[in-house]
Homo-oligomer: A and B are copies of this chain.
Amino acid sequence: MNFILLVLLCSVLGLFFSVYQGRSIMKEDEGDEKVRSIAIKIRKGANAYLKRQYKGVTIFFVIMFVIFLIMSIFGYVSIFVPFSFVIGGFLSGLSGFIGMKVATQANSRTTTAAKKSLNGALKISFKSGSVIGIVVVSLGLLYIALGFLFLDWYYRDLSEAERILQVTTNILTFGIGASSMALFARVGGGIFTKAADVGADLVGKVEVGIPEDDPRNPAVIADNVGDNVGDVAGMGADLYESYVGSLISSSALAVAAGLSTKGAVVPLLVAALGVVASIFSTFFVKAKEDSSQKNLLKALRRGVYISSVIVAVGSYFIVREILGSENIGVYFSILSGLFAGILIGFFTEYYTSDSYKPTRNLASMSETGPATIIIGGLSLGMASTAIPVVIVAVSVLISFNLSGGANDFNLGLYGIAISAVGMLSTLGITLATDAYGPIADNAGGIAEMSEQDPEVRRRTDALDSLGNTTAATGKGFAIGSAALTALAFIAAYKDSIENIVKSGTSNFEFNLSILNPQVLIGLFIGGMVTFLFSSKTMDAVGRAASKIVVEVRRQFKEIPGLMEGKGEPDYESCIDICTKSAQRELITIAIISVATPVIVGLILGPNGVAGLLAGATVTGFAMAIMMSNSGGAWDNAKKYIESGVLGGKGSECHKAAVVGDTVGDPFKDTTGPSINILIKLMSMVSIVFGALILALGVL
């Protein structure tokens, strides 16, 4: 338990660090009247959106809470489930909320700092990113540590093995709340941001021919709000869930692996080490004035590398100290995950950055029109799945075998789970480099709208385009770790069903052979659900965007003098439309995600559910990478053309590239990064509804 107190300490340290950094950001100059008034509008819009989202979420949470309460009364779930469901949702939402709050204060301050220097702007935006990153991981550790302490006390009369089992499985169910919240935040935010973006571009850039972020465009504030609610709040909620999910699933698997409390504590300690390492390494991120793009990227990378090295060295001692040198293989599992994450990040950059061949080739495909650049982008995205899959495959093989899977199957599964912990251990700093992107993006928007000197915009643009690359890397990271965590979840699912069977009247036995028709059908449905989910989320963006198009057109027609810059556009109405549509579209998507595993379970039994989860993971992993990378490459191909090649801005090539970028918008910012939430939410639903399915299912 002393170790848990240490974890608690690190999380509190992280929170103090965040508060301190947050305060220092608030002390920065926010800028002139104009900047402040725009920033306030964005802040208000983001608040309005989140308020409405939380309203929708509350209804969903109340319904589910009642369902879980009834289930717990009938003994299908433990009494803690309804509460940890709510707590998980709350904390996941809180992570996103804090991120949004920080980001909407930092954007204007970044703009103002960019008036003076590039380095100053980088400092503020990165500092804000690091607050967001550290808050997410600290809140995650805080929840786990407190949960551990409380449940360990509550179950004090059980044997150690029994106690740790109860502790981990009960904490794990937090995940259903956290992933539900993540779904609402990430998908809802994703729909919001891309509907605003696509809608603003379609009318603004294409129809009336005004530049991006022009204050005359009624959807422009909604577009900037979207960055905050989608890319910051959504991502925060999402990664909070990923982080805690990976930690606690590997703790849960430690029990079956016979490593008991010690094995359960290792992932937490590695994560705590990661928090400290992340905080430490933020101090190394600084750039010289007027650094090149390359040097800026190097500055950001430095932070990630330093913290990786710290974790790589430190976790060796953690594993040897706690699990003993006979289990030193577990250390190599952690290492393989850490390394795999860095590699995936690197190859994501290779496929999506215009410094490399793939995106440059893609740009040149615009010469034969939009059709060929679309085909090329899809093809690029599909090809880019190969290396990450191989990296994950090798990492699974290594972590399974080196942790001792050949002799003890459960030990191998623990190894796979803890490799995901290795990958996510440096999340604090990775997330910092990722979250800084939308802040820089917003800063650029504010600079444009408040009509700053072009030099200011040039500086924020440099930061923004860097943000595109770090965002792509961050997504690759999130998806890679999700794949590993999803595997851990399937194993955890099996454990949890077997524990129910052991203590109950069911005589169910797993037959997870891929030739078992239940598993097979589950696999098929899992693959299909990924496609269906992708379809629905893309549709939602399309529908919401077309509403924005209609509204923006209306305003240009009805508000006198708008085009000449004399009339004042009605920004709120666009924000309102985005907000409403995002929430409305979420209903079907949430139902698909929650109902599928329950229905499959009732008809095909737990074997079918395991197949479902595996099928969704396998197809979803490839699909998510494809979508993120296609989208990233289209965006950067467009930026590459804008930099002056192939005729530059306004050329036929550029127009074709804009079509590609628009297709890529929902790919990379709505659908792609949401798929991992689908997979994990389905896993959590499966685990929580396990007993019910066993009792009521056909098989």
**A contact set with B: CB distance below 8 Å:** 198, 202, 206, 365, 368-372, 374-376, 378-383, 385-386, 389-390, 392-393, 396-397, 400-401, 405, 409, 412-413, 416, 483, 487, 490-491, 494, 512-515, 517, 519-521, 523-528, 530-532, 534-536, 538-539, 541-542, 545-546, 549, 610-611, 614-615, 618-619, 621-622, 626, 658-659, 662-663, 666
The answer to whether A517 and B397 touch (CB under 8 A), given A621-B524, A666-B375, is yes
Q: Which one of B376, B385, B416, B618 lies within 8 Å of A615 (CB-CB)?
A: B618
> Closest B-chain residue to A394, C-beta based?
B521
Q: Which one of B202, B396, B541, B549 lies within 8 Å of A520 (CB-CB)?
A: B396
Q: When the two chains form their complex, are residues B542 and A379 in contact, meaning their CB atoms are under 8 A apart?
A: yes
> Closest B-chain residue to A202, C-beta based?
B368
Q: Which one of B494, B514, B534, B542 lies within 8 Å of A365 (CB-CB)?
A: B542
Q: When the two chains form their complex, are residues A527 and B614 in contact, meaning their CB atoms are under 8 A apart?
A: no
Q: Could you say which residues of chain B place their CB within 8 Å of the CB of A614?
A: 514, 520, 523
Q: When the two chains form their complex, are residues A374 and B659 in contact, meaning their CB atoms are under 8 A apart?
A: yes
Closest 7 CB pairs of A and B: A371-B662, A382-B535, A389-B528, A383-B535, A512-B513, A382-B531, A527-B618
The answer to whether A371 and B663 touch (CB under 8 A), given A382-B531, A618-B526, is yes
Oligomer copy total: 2
Q: When the two chains form their complex, are residues A389 and B517 in contact, meaning their CB atoms are under 8 A apart?
A: no
Q: Could you say which residues of chain B place their CB within 8 Å of the CB of A527?
A: 389, 527, 618-619, 621-622
Measured CA separation A389–B521 after assembly (Å): 9
> Closest B-chain residue to A385, C-beta based?
B531
> Closest B-chain residue to A613, C-beta based?
B514
Q: When the two chains form their complex, are residues B532 and A386 in contact, meaning their CB atoms are under 8 A apart?
A: yes
Q: When the two chains form their complex, are residues B383 and A532 in contact, meaning their CB atoms are under 8 A apart?
A: yes
Measured CA separation A164–B38 after assembly (Å): 80
Question: Would you mind naming 7 contact pairs between A and B with Cβ atoms under 8 Å apart?
Answer: A383-B536, A390-B525, A512-B513, A512-B514, A527-B527, A527-B619, A619-B622
Q: Could you say which residues of chain B place their CB within 8 Å of the CB of A397?
A: 517, 521
Q: When the two chains form their complex, are residues B531 and A622 in contact, meaning their CB atoms are under 8 A apart?
A: yes
Q: Could you say which residues of chain B place their CB within 8 Å of the CB of A376?
A: 539, 542
Q: Could you say which residues of chain B place their CB within 8 Å of the CB of A523?
A: 514, 523, 614, 618
Measured CA separation A666–B383 after assembly (Å): 16
* Given A375-B662, A379-B536, 20 further pairs, Cβ under 8 A: A202-B372, A206-B369, A365-B542, A368-B549, A375-B538, A375-B663, A376-B539, A376-B542, A381-B535, A382-B531, A383-B535, A385-B528, A392-B524, A396-B520, A483-B524, A487-B520, A514-B610, A515-B610, A524-B618, A618-B618
> Closest B-chain residue to A380, C-beta based?
B535
> Closest B-chain residue to A203, C-beta based?
B368
Q: When the two chains form their complex, are residues A524 and B666 in contact, meaning their CB atoms are under 8 A apart?
A: no
**Residue from A202, A368, A546 whose CB has the most chain B CB atoms within 10 Å:** A368
Measured CA separation A368–B371 after assembly (Å): 16
Closest Cβ of chain B to A489, distance in Å, is 11
Q: When the two chains form their complex, are residues B618 and A413 in contact, meaning their CB atoms are under 8 A apart?
A: no
Measured CA separation A541–B206 after assembly (Å): 30
Q: When the two chains form their complex, are residues A531 and B621 in contact, meaning their CB atoms are under 8 A apart?
A: no
Q: When the two chains form their complex, are residues A534 and B610 in contact, meaning their CB atoms are under 8 A apart?
A: no
**Residue from A530, A532, A610 whose CB has the most chain B CB atoms within 10 Å:** A532
Closest Cβ of chain B to A293, distance in Å, is 28
Measured CA separation A385–B531 after assembly (Å): 7
Q: Which one of B375, B514, B622 lies within 8 Å of A528 (CB-CB)?
A: B622
Closest Cβ of chain B to A592, distance in Å, is 10
Q: When the two chains form their complex, are residues B514 and A490 in contact, meaning their CB atoms are under 8 A apart?
A: yes
Measured CA separation A373–B442 after assembly (Å): 29
Measured CA separation A532–B619 after assembly (Å): 13
Q: When the two chains form their complex, are residues B494 and A370 in contact, meaning their CB atoms are under 8 A apart?
A: no
Closest Cβ of chain B to A460, distance in Å, is 26
Measured CA separation A494–B514 after assembly (Å): 11
Closest Cβ of chain B to A614, distance in Å, is 5
Closest Cβ of chain B to A432, distance in Å, is 30
Q: When the two chains form their complex, are residues B524 and A519 in contact, meaning their CB atoms are under 8 A apart?
A: no
Measured CA separation A375–B668 after assembly (Å): 13
Q: When the two chains form their complex, are residues B379 and A535 in contact, meaning their CB atoms are under 8 A apart?
A: yes
**Residue from A380, A413, A659 whose CB has the most chain B CB atoms within 10 Å:** A659
Measured CA separation A622–B515 after assembly (Å): 19
The answer to whether A542 and B622 touch (CB under 8 A), given A369-B206, A532-B385, is no
Q: Could you say which residues of chain B place their CB within 8 Å of the CB of A365?
A: 542
> Closest B-chain residue to A378, C-beta based?
B538
Closest Cβ of chain B to A606, distance in Å, is 12
Q: Could you say which residues of chain B place their CB within 8 Å of the CB of A619?
A: 527, 618-619, 622
The answer to whether A412 and B371 touch (CB under 8 A), given A531-B382, A618-B523, is no
Q: Could you say which residues of chain B place their CB within 8 Å of the CB of A370?
A: 370-371, 659
Q: When the two chains form their complex, are residues A531 and B626 in contact, meaning their CB atoms are under 8 A apart?
A: yes
> Closest B-chain residue to A412, C-beta based?
B517
Measured CA separation A432–B588 after assembly (Å): 41
Q: Could you say which residues of chain B place their CB within 8 Å of the CB of A413?
A: 515
The answer to whether A372 and B535 touch (CB under 8 A), given A521-B393, A618-B527, is no
Closest Cβ of chain B to A418, distance in Å, is 14
Q: When the two chains form their complex, are residues B514 and A375 in contact, meaning their CB atoms are under 8 A apart?
A: no
Q: Which one of B405, B519, B621, B622 lies within 8 Å of A514 (CB-CB)?
A: B519
Q: Could you say which residues of chain B place their CB within 8 Å of the CB of A382?
A: 531-532, 534-535, 538
Q: Could you say which residues of chain B place their CB within 8 Å of the CB of A549?
A: 368
**Residue from A365, A396, A531 whose CB has the most chain B CB atoms within 10 Å:** A531
Closest Cβ of chain B to A206, distance in Å, is 7
Closest Cβ of chain B to A485, distance in Å, is 14
The answer to whether A405 and B517 touch (CB under 8 A), given A386-B532, A536-B383, A663-B375, is yes
> Closest B-chain residue to A533, C-beta based?
B382
Q: Could you say which residues of chain B place their CB within 8 Å of the CB of A375?
A: 538, 541-542, 662-663, 666
Q: Could you say which residues of chain B place their CB within 8 Å of the CB of A396?
A: 517, 520-521
